[in-house]
Amino acid sequence: MKKKKTYLITGAGSGFGWEIALRMAEDHEDVIAGVANHRQGKELAEEARKRNVSIRIAKLDITSSEDRELAGTWDVDVLLNNAAVSLGGSIADIPEEVLRKQYEVNFFGTIFLTQKIVHQMVKKGAGKIVFVSSLHGIMADPISGPYCSSKFALEAVAESLSKELQEYGIEVAVINPGPYMTGLNDREYASMSKWQEDVPERLFDYEEMAFPYEQFLNIDPVVEGTIDVMTGKSNEYRTVIPKAMGIYGKKRQRDLWNKKTTKHLGKRHPLIKREFKMEPETTVVEGIHRMITDPFQKEDKKK
């Protein structure tokens, strides 16, 4: 009888990871749900009981070398690197300890855990590593530079790793969600008020700013799309969700090839203007065409 695959999901204590873990458990998959602390574990266990599903829950703080060592002993067939934090602020202002924390979770913790899992996959000659990146992994916005840069770094790692592991029969894939209402985006902006008073000379009043994009409430497309990649229903290297937002991401990448360093000097960037106008937890009301058509450039032309 063929062995059932084991799926390890990091960051399963909230957001996408929470729902992905529970949905896969409902499908009777063998899931190890990695949570950052025991409180998250208790909450996930209670939800699993409500849904009457069986799921393995393990404390896995990916910034902990002890937790990573333990995870390296598990027999994992598919790793979903989902755990992440979002800590924003202007690159000119963000304190060193905040920026380091951003990278400890999104980059170093993710990479060092992946190393542990990859070596056991190589011994088996099979496996899959899936990185949950972001649309912000292929385009950078003002004030979100710390988060964007950590996802850009993950993109580079994923691309390199995919080429390094192909001879060993191991797949690598990337998921790029757009703005969804998981709390991550709004926590990014709320976190800035905790340190801004400690910065003697800062460029912006972060207490007055909010995430500049309308956010999607229904996370089902991300959950379902990620599960398709993990289970092999999709073999795409990159999966942008919603798919149409890939148009906006590609446009932003193309724009950089024609960007002039002198253009718009002395003017505030339209996205920063929106960050001061937007209310927290603003949901999509006009559809994704607002982003695809890049309304920020239109607003800038009107001024």
Q: How far apart are CA 246 and CA 252, in angstroms?
A: 10
Largest CA distance in the chain: 68
Which residue in 174, 177, 179 sits closest to 238, CA to CA?
174
36 contacts 108 by C-beta, under 8 angstroms = no
First-residue to last-residue Cα distance in the chain? 67
Pairing of strands 127-132, 78-81: parallel
Neighbour tally for 273: CB within 10 Å: 16
Are residues 193 and 122 in contact, defined by beta-carbon separation less than 8 angstroms?
A: no
**Positive or negative: CA dihedral 151, 157, 159, 162:** negative
Q: For the chain, state the CA radius of gyration.
A: 20
The torsion angles phi and psi of 74, rounded to 5 degrees, stand at -80, 145
Q: Exactly one of 147, 189, 213, 248 is catalytic; name it.
A: 147
How many Å apart are CA 28 and CA 54, to the nearest integer?
A: 8
Q: Is 237 a catalytic residue?
A: no
Which residues are tagged catalytic? 147
